[in-house]
A and B are shown apart, each in its own frame.
Chain A
Amino acid sequence: MTPEQLSQIGADEAAARASAPQRLYVCMAAGCISSSSDAVKKSLEAAVAERGLKGTCPVTGVGCMGLCSRGPLVSAEPAGILYQDVSPGDAGEIVQSLSGEPVARLQCSRDLPFFKRQVGVVLENSGRIDPERLEDYVAAQGYEGLVQALTEMSPAEVIEQVSRSGLRGRGGAGYPTGLKWSTVAKAQAATKYVVCNADEGDPGAFMDRSVLESDPQRVLEGMIIAGYAVGASRGYIYVRAEYPLAITRLNVAIRQAKHHGLLGTQIANTEFAFDIELRLGAGAFVCGEETALIASIEGGRGTPRPRPPYPAQAGLYGAPTLINNVETFANIPAIIRKGGDWYAAMGTARSKGTKVFALTGKINCTGLIEVPMGMSLREIIFEVGGGVPEGRKFKAVQTGGPSGGCIPEQFLDMPVDYDSLAQAGSIMGSGGMIVMDDSSCMVDVAKYFMEFCMSESCGKCIPCRAGTAQMYDLLAKISEGRAGMGDLEMLENLCDMVKNTSLCGLGQSAPNPVLSTLRYFRDEYLAHIQEKRCPAGVCAIKQEANA
């Protein structure tokens, strides 16, 4: 494909849109599909056909519109009227209203802070394009960044823009992306690889899934640009098998990109060749750890190995390997298109750009959001997220999944960036945010995450394998009111030891949920131990303990 052909696709698509004055978008991401948005789409199509509007009002399945708790979501374009909780029976009314007033009883205001406060970079096309059509992506400036990189920039210039953007790894650790790219680019090797880590596994996290379901071409474009920048000709997307819809859409996207000459040989009519293959995870959380992920792609047992050597030096099949997370790659096309400085203008001094979060738990607007780095937790939870449901009081927000921690009320005004979250005893993580109100028991929360780490430990190193099991038993003992102060001391000793001696990030961060709840909610632990009572009324205190 030449740059001219690419702009032709965009122009054709724009013309097709102009010929259809109205369009209906139905969210076809996993969240809305689970509340039967596919049935809504069918009945909308029938209603459109019935009124003879088939040519002028196409019904399109699009990606995630964000406000998952109000799904199924439908939007009427170009007016941008959003409908919530749509059922198949509402189809006739919605189609009827296209020529008149919107259906008031279904309408969801676009003026909600949920929409107003968001900034779309990674999610700029999410809910606006058909994820299964490359043409839609191209019409939204897709692949412009790639063509620009291949035809006008040297690999070093691409890396320079990524470095300037200040982008840090969105998988959680926040390693500077430009630095990682230049390390791989400088490695001397005949073969190099680019790997996309799509093994999202934190409880309550669905950022990467939504990006893959809503805008898969974007991730491919980011990977191809990365391949060009570091000198790799082969890429792998390691996606968990629990994401069937994301896998389907990725396969469609790869096929279409190959068909249009954007993957394979002579990409955009240049000498550059790059291919992408999918690898499906078999359900192991630890395979999100980069060395375990590599072992899994190679066909081995998914267990981590000590670093160094880092994958940038010796990764997949021993070759220098660039591993980035889905959201990191999804940021790249916009950075190349608009320049690193544009991206660096958003965010805080040390955390640039935007971050996608999955808001879940006791919050009014459950869903997917993208906000600039540095927005305070209070703004995210109480403005964008609409606060906790009435009658309850905010207690804590859990970030970073099983590797993160619980942040209490006194830190609500803290800006959300890598460093502040780490200071508060949690981590940015991949973007899961679980809001908890006063009906949650923090000992129970810590126990839940420890159970997760215990069952997801690979079993290779002793501190993680046996330590998490011992810590889980201790937490169970505390939650049942069977523990003494000695058990708490033992738990704290184990936390320290497992954190400092485990082989990989899973074990090293497994104590974090316990440590952060002990730091801010120690009184709850003491109530369970000394008073044999669960202040939130969640834990079942054993009767004999009371006697």
Chain B
Amino acid sequence: MNPAAPDVKTLRIDGVDVSARADQTVLEAAREKGLSIPTLCHLDGLSDVGACRLCLVEVKGTSKLMPACVTRVEEGMEVTTQSDRLLKYRRMILELLFAERNHVCSVCVANGHCDLQWLGQAHGLTHVQFPYRYPKLSVDASHMRFAVDHNRCILCTRCVRVCDEVEGAHTWDVMGRGIESSVITDLQQPWGESDTCTSCGKCVQVCPTGALFEKGRARSVVKDRDFLPYLAMMREGKR
């Protein structure tokens, strides 16, 4: 074996032979090959946290389900991304999200441009089996340009990561525990009073739902996410 050659692994995803660099994840390898694995907390250009559990896949030889976004490829790995069991779990995860807060698509600014909505449609979600929790949550519109509607937040922490890792401001973070968790700006100050926020709007662009949105554009908020892989690529010096 030529030591100068990059370490390449070959594996099988849903019966398809796939080759990947050793430092790639199962998710990257699958998507390169055009195989789709649903994700929500993952976003190209941000670090992965393995939190949404939608990308769980079955790997032959282990009974544990593995999150594709943080699982490195291995030689001879046999991965199943679509099984009845996985589809059932994914649907339940989506239903849990819909039932957790007040996701009413018809009156949401992100209607038609929402990752959660798309995933629901893609998984044939016609109704939610779990009782809706209807929590009473606030909307913070104190920022000059943007607003956060906690009713639509799914706690994917994309905003937290983009603000910390890409913008370097770390205005966003998470407070509270469990079902009471919430994203906050600074030390839970109103967004408009944040000392650290640079008003760059990256958090708004990466937000998968209508939780973060630009004021004054109540309809058809198309989010622009192309900037992120571009920025990440430029910073790594890969032109």
Contacts and interface: CB of A to CB of B under 8 A. Distances in A.
A459 B174 contact: yes
Given A460-B49, A461-B52, A501-B89, A466 B179 contact: yes
A462 B93 contact: yes
B129 A490 contact: yes
A469 B131 CA distance: 11
B130 interface: yes
Interface of B: 49-53, 56, 65, 67, 70, 88-89, 92-93, 96-97, 99-100, 129-131, 133, 154-155, 157, 173-174, 176-181
Contact of B96 (A284, A306, A459, A462): A462
Nearest to B66: A306
A455 B177 contact: yes
B63 to A, nearest CB: 9
A512 interface: no
7 contacts: A458-B178, A459-B177, A459-B179, A465-B155, A466-B99, A501-B65, A502-B53
Contacts of B174: 301, 459
Given A461-B51, A461-B52, A462-B53, A456 B67 contact: no
Contacts of B177: 284, 286, 455-459
A466 B100 contact: yes
A462 B51 contact: yes
A470 B93 CA distance: 12
A286 B176 CA distance: 13
Nearest to B133: A469
B53 A465 contact: no
A500 interface: yes
A-B residue pairs, 6 tightest by C-beta: A459-B181, A457-B178, A306-B50, A466-B96, A469-B179, A466-B100
A502 B92 CA distance: 12
A473 B134 CA distance: 13
Given A301-B174, A501-B65, A465 B52 contact: no
A468 B178 contact: yes
Contact of B65 (A305, A455, A465, A500): A500
A500 B50 contact: no
Q: Which of A454, A459, A463, A502 has the most CB of B within 10 A?
A: A459
A459 to B, nearest CB: 3
Contacts of A497: 88-89, 92-93
Interface string A493-527: 11001001111000000000000000000000000
B70 A306 contact: yes
A160 to B, nearest CB: 30
Contacts of B96: 462-463, 466-467, 470
B185 to A, nearest CB: 15
A543 B155 CA distance: 38
B53 A454 contact: no
A129 B98 CA distance: 58
A508 to B, nearest CB: 9
Contacts of B89: 497, 500-501
Contacts of B92: 493-494, 497
Nearest to A487: B131
Nearest to A302: B177
B176 A459 contact: yes
A11 to B, nearest CB: 53
Q: Which of B96, B155, B173 has the most CB of A within 10 A?
A: B96
Interface in A283-312: 284, 286, 301, 305-306
B99 A465 contact: no
Contact of A470 (B50, B52, B65, B130): B130
Contact of A462 (B65, B88, B97): B97
B201 to A, nearest CB: 24
Nearest to B94: A462
Given A467-B96, A470-B130, A503 B51 contact: yes
A494 B129 CA distance: 11
Nearest to B154: A462
Contacts of B50: 305-306, 461, 503
A518 to B, nearest CB: 18
Given A466-B99, A470-B96, A459 B52 contact: no
A468 B49 CA distance: 20
Contact of B51 (A460, A473, A500): A460
Given A457-B177, A459-B179, A497-B92, A470 B99 contact: yes
A465 B157 CA distance: 14
A473 B180 contact: no
A469 B51 contact: no
Contacts of A470: 96, 99, 130-131
Nearest to A468: B178
Contacts of A456: 177-178
Contacts of A501: 53, 56, 65, 89, 93
A544 B74 CA distance: 58
A99 B129 CA distance: 75
Contacts of B53: 461-463, 501-503
A500 B56 CA distance: 10
Nearest to B179: A469
Contacts of B70: 306
A465 B178 contact: yes
Contacts of B176: 459
B80 to A, nearest CB: 14
A7 B96 CA distance: 63
A454 B179 contact: yes
Contacts of A460: 49, 51, 155, 157
A233 to B, nearest CB: 30
Q: Which of B52, B130, B178 has the most CB of A within 10 A?
A: B178
A31 to B, nearest CB: 29
A455 B154 CA distance: 18
Contacts of A465: 100, 155, 178-179, 181
Contacts of B179: 454, 457, 459, 465-466, 468-469
